[in-house]
């Protein structure tokens, strides 16, 4: 018998292509029988309103206020620590001449990264027509804004004189000087403030139709006035929806390159310097993937709790969580690839400083930070290869916490290990944070959670109009201009 | 009765297919001053109503170009005209280092133009509507499609318009006075 027996490959599974046939050229397919439904329990349109606006109309219980109080106290303590920093000077921090960027810039990059998942969900998944995003986009966008607010605190207090932070912007002044547009730090000012502004506009625009729904649902006099004011008098006019949908598309199209640019520019703060460990071209994609990774982990942490407490299980289903876990696995692998590629290039470049920095990173004084990062970010998401793990709620909660921790360590590792061994061995140093620094970071977590708690009670946590638009039977089965 | 006059005739729909057909019929019979209030954007309904494509993308584009040109001007003028900043003998102006800020300002101004352009085109904020007291109209942001033909339309006449609304399948056809 001939050795070259040709094995015929089996025809590809046709079931994979059935989904595509459901589209009929319609970007919003009406039924997708092969897929799990996006909303469980087949509620009516009014049920959706009643459920989501009902969260706002209902009186919050004591547990809610205790949670708010705890989070707000933590935030308050954080502001106390910021006060201490501002009154005394940044000498109260553990950073020193060798390690000038430490805990604060780590936290800045950490929080900015958290925000990226919100934009990814609201903009990129929108452009890719991923309809499952509708249940989670609102809360993820809120998270983006709160995370960017927390992030902004750090570079401002890092300047040491936060009351002069406006010097970062180009404005005509009595010194007749301008900012240096060649500096990535100036790019950062523009990137972060643009990101915050555009995210907030996008978020508010998405809220307006839902605020109108809430306006007509709530009974309280003051509540009605407030929701009326902020809904801008939205009526649901189809002529307005026509503009609105195009605006949504434009803002989604803008936010997509914007979110990529923000972490790219953040990574350039490092990559454009000539410091071994920072000076690598892989940084922009590596940072963007890491940002999305960490952001999804944070969305997961919050949503696992929120869907339980707010009773949103029929909207935020296991399917949604499973999809997010797939993204966590994919981006986790990208980050893992970046870690190994950095090591490979450190060896392959033949640059002894580069090589020393990386060996020191993994086996030097900060070995614990490096290996925490690798085990949390690369190893822990590997369980998501299994469907059972992707749909196991306690497990995904634990993994999401691991990823949050791991991504914080990633930034810490990049910053501290690259700095602490200077070119001059006599300046080698070691960094440990002081209580003030820990207090500021924990305070921003408190601030973030306080804002998220207030959001989850006083604003529609799920995009009501968007979820209605993807419910079975909500769209016409044929288009007005395509009669058969 | 008072000096109130009818401003619109309203009718309700609940089926997305029915509202689609009704919209096409209203448009085909020559009405122009009408609107449909819906809880979520119904795809294709704007086309069926004969709504002209929005000019919003041009506003956004204008905003973006304004942002881009301002960014170029700002970086060039501040760095190489007003205060020549010599950093390691590098050129005073180059597109390479200007790209990040040019990009961000383009995005920022496009975003602002889109946001404000949207509300301008929608005529919002406007905290009053002649229809606001109608219970059915209030449910348009909840679960009902409400077709409204305004009396300002040239073809509007109370009886014919009401009859026409009933013919195309509207429920609870009613007049709104203001």
By mean pLDDT, which of A255-264, A303-312, A359-368 is the weakest? A303-312
Phi-psi group of B54: left, alpha or beta (phi > 0 → left; psi -120 to 50 → alpha; rest → beta): beta
Q: Is A34 helix (H, G, I), strand (E, B) or coil?
A: coil
What is the C-alpha to C-alpha distance for residues A296 and A427, in angstroms, rounded to an integer?
39
Chain-centroid distance, C-alpha A253: 17
Answer whether A475 sits within 8 Å of B42, measured CB to CB: yes
Smallest Cβ–Cβ distance between B100 and the set A28, A191, A482 belongs to A191
> How sure is the predictor about A30, in pLDDT bands with cuts at 50, 70 and 90?
very low
Output the pLDDT for position A24: 43
Query: By the 8 A CB rule, do A284 and A263 touch?
Result: yes
Token representation of residue B178: 């203001």
For the question of an ipTM over 0.95, the answer is: no
Domains and CATH numbers, chain A: 38-207+259-469 (1.20.1630.10)
Smallest Cβ–Cβ distance between A242 and the set B54, B98, B114 belongs to B54
Best mutation target, B67, B114, B128, to test chain A (most A CBs within 10 A): B114
Is B72 at the interface with chain A, CB within 8 A?
no
Query: By the 8 A CB rule, do A454 and A67 touch?
Result: no
Query: By the 8 A CB rule, do B154 and B28 touch?
Result: no
What is the C-alpha to C-alpha distance for residues B118 and B106, in angstroms, rounded to an integer?
18
Q: Which residue matches tokens 């139709």?
A: A209
The pLDDT of residue A40 is above 70:
yes
| Of A137, A445, A450, the residue nearest A296 (C-alpha) | A137
Task: For residue range B91-140, list pLDDT tens digits in order.
Answer: 888 888 899 999 999 999 999 999 999 999 988 888 888 877 888 788 88
The pLDDT of residue A336 is above 90:
yes
Query: By the 8 A CB rule, do B14 and B36 touch?
Result: no
The pLDDT of residue A119 is above 90:
no
CB contacts of B103 in chain A (<8 Å) are: 257, 261
Query: By the 8 A CB rule, do A199 and A144 touch?
Result: yes
Q: Where are the domains of chain B?
A: 6-52+128-177, 56-122
Q: Which of residues 155-174 of B touch A (CB under 8 A)?
A: none
% chain A with pLDDT above 70:
91
Output the pLDDT for position B2: 57
> How sure is the predictor about A13, in pLDDT bands with cuts at 50, 70 and 90?
very low
Output the pLDDT for position B101: 93
Q: Who contacts B110 (Cβ-Cβ below 8 Å, separation ≥6)? A: A250, A254, B60, B61, B63, B64, B67
């Amino acid at each position: 018998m001939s050795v070259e027996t040709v094995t015929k490959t089996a025809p590809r599974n046709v079931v994979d292509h059935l989904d595509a046939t459901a589209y009929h050229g319609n970007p919003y397919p009406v039924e997708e029988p092969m897929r799990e439904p996006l909303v469980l329990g087949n509620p009516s349109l009014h049920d959706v309103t009643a459920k989501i606006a009902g969260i706002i109309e209902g009186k919050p219980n004591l547990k809610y206020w205790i949670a708010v109080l705890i989070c707000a106290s933590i935030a308050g303590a954080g502001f106390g620590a910021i006060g201490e920093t501002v009154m005394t000077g940044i000498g109260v921090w553990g950073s020193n001449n060798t390690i000038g960027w430490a805990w604060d810039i780590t936290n800045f990059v950490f929080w900015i990264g958290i925000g990226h998942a919100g934009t990814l969900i609201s903009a990129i998944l929108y452009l890719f027509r991923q309809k499952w995003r509708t249940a989670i986009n609102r809360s993820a966008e809120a998270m983006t804004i709160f995370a960017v607010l927390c992030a902004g605190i750090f570079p401002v207090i890092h300047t040491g004189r936060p009351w002069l932070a406006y010097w970062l912007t180009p404005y005509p002044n009595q010194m007749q000087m301008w900012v240096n547009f060649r500096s990535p730090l100036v790019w950062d000012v523009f990137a972060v403030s643009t990101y915050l502004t555009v995210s907030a506009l996008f978020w508010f625009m998405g809220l307006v139709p839902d605020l109108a729904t809430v306006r007509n649902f709530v009974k309280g006099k003051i509540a009605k006035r407030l929701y009326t004011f902020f809904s801008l008098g939205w009526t649901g006019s189809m002529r307005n929806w026509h503009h609105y949908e195009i605006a949504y598309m434009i803002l989604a199209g803008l936010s997509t390159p914007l979110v990529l640019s923000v972490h790219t520019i953040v990574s350039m703060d490092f990559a454009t310097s000539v410091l071994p460990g920072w000076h690598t071209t892989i940084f922009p994609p590596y940072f963007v993937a890491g940002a999305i990774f960490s952001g999804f982990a944070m969305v997961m942490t919050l949503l696992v709790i929120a869907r339980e407490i707010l009773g949103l299980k029929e909207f935020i289903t296991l399917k949604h969580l499973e999809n997010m876990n797939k993204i966590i696995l994919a981006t986790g692998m990208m980050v893992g690839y970046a870690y190994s590629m950095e090591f490979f290039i450190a060896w392959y470049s033949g640059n002894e400083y580069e090589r020393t920095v990386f060996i020191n990173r993994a086996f030097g004084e900060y070995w614990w930070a490096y290996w925490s990062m690798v085990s949390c970010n690369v190893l822990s998401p590997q369980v998501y290869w299994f469907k059972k793990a992707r749909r196991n709620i306690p497990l995904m909660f634990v993994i999401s916490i691991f990823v949050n921790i791991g991504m914080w360590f990633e930034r810490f590792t990049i910053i501290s290990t690259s700095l602490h061994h200077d070119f001059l061995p006599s300046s080698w140093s070691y960094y440990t944070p002081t209580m003030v620094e820990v207090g500021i970071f924990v305070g921003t977590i408190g601030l973030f959670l306080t804002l998220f708690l207030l959001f989850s009670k006083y604003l529609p946590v799920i995009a009501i109009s968007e979820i209605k638009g993807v419910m079975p039977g909500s769209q016409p089965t044929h288009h007005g201009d395509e009669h058969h | 009765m008072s000096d109130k006059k009818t401003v619109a005739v309203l009718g309700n729909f609940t089926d997305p297919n029915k509202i689609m057909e009704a919209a096409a019929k209203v448009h085909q019979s020559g009405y122009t001053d009408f609107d449909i209030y819906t809880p979520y954007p119904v795809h294709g309904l704007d086309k069926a109503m004969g709504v002209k494509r929005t000019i919003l993308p041009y506003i956004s584009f204008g905003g973006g170009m304004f942002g881009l040109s301002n960014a170029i001007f700002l970086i060039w003028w501040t760095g190489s005209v007003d205060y020549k900043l010599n950093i390691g003998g590098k050129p005073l102006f180059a597109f390479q280092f200007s790209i990040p800020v040019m990009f961000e300002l383009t995005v920022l101004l496009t975003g602002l133009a889109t946001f404000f352009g949207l509300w301008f085109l929608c005529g919002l904020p406007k905290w009053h509507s002649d229809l606001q007291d109608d219970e059915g109209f209030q449910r348009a942001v909840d679960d009902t499609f409400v077709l409204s033909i305004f009396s300002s339309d040239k073809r509007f006449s109370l009886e014919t318009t009401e009859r026409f609304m009933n013919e195309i399948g509207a429920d609870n056809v009613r007049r709104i006075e203001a």
